[in-house]
Amino acid sequence: MKTVTTVKALHAEISRVKEQDLSIGFVPTMGALHKGHLELMKTARTNNNIVVVSIFVNPTQFNNPNDLRNYPRTIDQDIAKCESVGVDIVFAPTVEEVYPIPDNRVFDFGNLDKVMEGEHRPGHFNGVAQVVSKLFSMVKPTRSYFGQKDFQQLAVIRALVKDYSIDVDIVACPTFREDDGLAMSSRNALLSAEQRANVPIISKTLFAARNNLAQKSVKEVIDWVTTEINANNELDVEYFEISNANTLQPITKWSDADEVVGCIAVQVGNVRLIDNVIFK
């Protein structure tokens, strides 16, 4: 496995791969790697000749400076984990390497990025589009792998690829969960022991809503999920929205869309967790 930190060194490696007409599977990450990330890499390993992983905490997608400052950084452990699952190239650049000049591009995804995370984290998805489009240009992957835990991000990246004619296949992978149902996230490492003991209620409540409340109205499900989670003093629901899974626009009746997703963000002390459940 090779670890490179500059675009020049990355391009040299990618050029050698392209000369041999080999497929590239790409997993972009912000580090603090967990089992979910490793599963993405394993899937990429199965379906491609070469696997590239980027490790880069992207500042342009953080609207909260404290969140950026506190985001876990474990580069040495991350590199070792990448090697353990057969990654070929790790790209771990500095901010200056990715943004030699300020990136002032503004992307337009219609209403897709205006709701949920977009509403509560202004500018977040524009920053995601900035860095992902840069990384796609640098790595030139055949396929790129993303987890469905970040459901809205996945939708935005699919729109990015389609709207801006980027030649890469986006592969969605299921949400990977801990044994108690908690969606795997780098932010889980920031939870205290007490908080960690309480957060599985998020997924348990979402699953209960999906399995037992199908005959309830959309509003009744939203109210029930919010009330159940907020009943725990450690947890505070920032939003829970039930939406068309394709447009991400909120629905008021189950018949409003053929595919429906419920997306949630919960504040746990200073840690913010997201999750989702497919209703149909």
Name the nearest CA neighbour of 83 among 174, 3, 164, 181. Answer: 3
Cβ neighbours around 154 below 10 Å, total: 16
In the sheet that holds 260-268, the strands lie side by side as: 235-244, 260-268, 271-278
Maximum CA extent, the chain: 58
Instruction: Write out the two tokens for 207.
Output: 């699953």
Question: Which 3 state secondary structure label does DSSP give 205?
Answer: helix
CA distances from 110 to 35, 194, 224, 230 (A): 33, 40, 30, 32
Q: Give the C-alpha separation, 172 to 71, whole Å.
A: 24
Angle between helices 218-230 and 200-212 (to 10 degrees): 150
Catalytic position from the list 11, 34, 37, 124: 37
37 is catalytic: yes
As a whole number of angstroms, the distance between CA 138 and CA 154 comes to 20
Active site residues: 37
